[in-house]
Amino acid sequence: MAHDHPHDHDHEHGSDLSPMAARVKALETVLTEKGLIDPAAIGVIVETYETRIGPRNGARVVAKSWVDAAFRDWLTRDATAAIASLGFTGRQGEHMRAVFNAPGQHNLIVCTLCSCYPWSVLGLPPVWYKAPPYRSRAVIDPRGVLAEFGVVLPETTKIRVWDSTAELRYLVVPERPAGTGALSEEQLAALVTRDSMIGTGLALAPGAAS
Amino acid sequence: MNGPHDLGGQMGFGPVAPELNEPVFHADWERRALGLTLCVSSMRQWPGDENRFTRESLHPADYYSSSYYEIWTKAAERLLVKYGFVTGEELRAGRKLSEGAKPRQMLAAADVPAVLAKGAPYDRPVSLPPKFAAGQRVRTINEHPRTHTRLPRFARGRIGRIETVHGGFVFPDSNAQGLGEQPQRLYTVVFAGTELWGAHSDPSVEVSIDAWESYLEAA
């Protein structure tokens, strides 16, 4: 394998496809030939989640909640409506609930049974969120899981793990980092990482955002 | 069902492996698999909860050795065959060999933005007042249905506290079996980590689930 170039595969011929690529292509071809799907719809769906809907949506929600007390209150009472007011609605975000980190209180979101995740504000979930290590351990060993993300909380901090077993989708609102009093809402949003909105991270300190 | 998907508290899967700057997709077939899955769901030929049940019903060895988009693809194939839209022979051949069932609807590219922005809300009106109140102690039922359920094994037969009383939601346990939505009230129920994992577990941990009313009894 000395000449293996992982990004140099020739995908023009079916025989070069990986087994899953071939399987999905076969399925798509059959469904298209039978008039069951519009293959152009696939492209639009993919473009939506690759370029339009992602964690920057959630970051805007969090940043606004840091600077706007009325919005934060709305987000507490009716997260679905508050988030919709910023234009973020739809699939896998129909019923939203925001949970707030505070001194001594950390929140962590998991879906032990599958991969429920708030698509409308965070986009599609990362692989680790859907994989057995996270799903199995987040509920029984959240501190151990957090440590693998580099998050070490004081022993006195209470950890609440929210298992998304129903159609409610959860967004963690991380604590606002210290020393950010002078930042604009947009600058604050840049400090809000995807992981901080799942609870496997914290918001970045000012100057750490790139 | 007590399937391979019900992972809470299982051991032996190793560390979580977050990927730095993870791309949305790792291969082009994952893009197509996501799109196909959503297109097939949009045919609305079976309840979304049957999708979940079909994924959970993969053989455990298959489930654990498959990535998530593989699981989705395999489940979509099974359902398309079950409901007569395609045949196993067609999937193997990778082409149409016969006419099959016609879908109620097809998601057209032009409609995708509106359909995704609308979503599919699962809240439903329920006429009965809530059986439980915030703060009340409850015990979850200890049942092991062979069918779809959202009560994870780690939280069965456990004492918890009602934290939030929600409105009515489609009951996935019936919906997945084609028995209708039979909406029920939903509750957020909190358990002490020690109630779930024993006296020696981390006392600073609490775990909540969202539980339908029939999962709960007064305690």
CB A142 within 8 A of CB A105: no
Quick one: average pLDDT of A55-75? 98
Active site residue A111: yes
Q: Chain-wide mean pLDDT for chain A?
A: 93
- Kindly give the pairing relationship between strand B184-192 and strand A96-100: unpaired
Q: Would the CB atoms of B29 and A20 count as touching at under 8 Å?
A: yes
Active site residue A18: no
Chain A hits for B166, Cβ within 8 Å: 168
CB A200 within 8 A of CB A145: yes
Contact of B156 with chain A, judged by CB distance below 8 Å, is answered with no
Q: How far is B68 from chain A (nearest CA, A)?
A: 7
Q: Would the CB atoms of A27 and B73 count as touching at under 8 Å?
A: yes
Distance CA B110, CA B138 (A): 48
Q: How far is B42 from chain A (nearest CA, A)?
A: 9
So what's the pLDDT on residue A4? 42
pLDDT of A11 above 90: no
pLDDT band at A10 (very low <50, low <70, confident <90, very high): very low
Quick one: average pLDDT of A150-172? 97
pTM attached to this predicted model: 0.95
Active site residue A196: no
pLDDT band at A124 (very low <50, low <70, confident <90, very high): very high
Q: How is residue B152 annotated by DSSP?
A: -
pLDDT digits (tens, 9 = 90+) for A31-50: 999 999 999 999 999 999 99
CA angle, B162 then B163 then B166, to 5°: 90
Q: How far is B102 from chain A (nearest CA, A)?
A: 7
Distance CA A193, CA A200 (A): 10
Please count the CA atoms within 13 angstroms of the CA of B162 that sit on its side-chain side.
23
Contact of B154 with chain A, judged by CB distance below 8 Å, is answered with yes
Closest to B7 (Cβ–Cβ): which among A35, A136, A158?
A: A136
Catalytic residue among A116, A120, A164, A196: A116
Residues of chain B numbered 179-208 and touching chain A (CB < 8 Å): 186, 188, 190, 196-197, 201-202, 204-208
Helices (H) and strands (E) in chain B, counts: 8, 6
Quick one: average pLDDT of A154-171? 97
Active site residue A116: yes
Instruction: Count the helix, strand and coil residues of chain A and give each as a percent rounded to the nearest 5.
Output: 45, 10, 45
* DSSP conformation letters of B87-141: -HHHHHHTS--S--PPPS----GGGHHHHHHH----EE---SPPSS-TT-EEEE-
pLDDT of A12 above 50: no
Distance CA A196, CA A188 (A): 13
So what's the pLDDT on residue A207? 81
So what's the pLDDT on residue A8? 43
Q: How many residues does chain A have?
A: 210
pLDDT digits (tens, 9 = 90+) for B27-78: 999 999 999 999 999 998 999 999 999 999 999 999 999 999 999 999 999 9
Q: Which residue's entry shows tokens 């196993």?
A: B88
Helices (H) and strands (E) in chain A, counts: 11, 4
> Any idea of the CA torsion for B146, B7, B154, A149, to the nearest 10 degrees?
-160
Amino acid at position A132, single letter:
P
Closest alpha carbon within chain A to B185: A166
Q: How far is B174 from chain A (nearest CA, A)?
A: 14
Contact of B22 with chain A, judged by CB distance below 8 Å, is answered with yes
Chain B hits for A126, Cβ within 8 Å: 18-19, 22
Amino acid at position A77, single letter:
R
Q: Would the CB atoms of A41 and B108 count as touching at under 8 Å?
A: yes
Closest alpha carbon within chain A to B117: A90
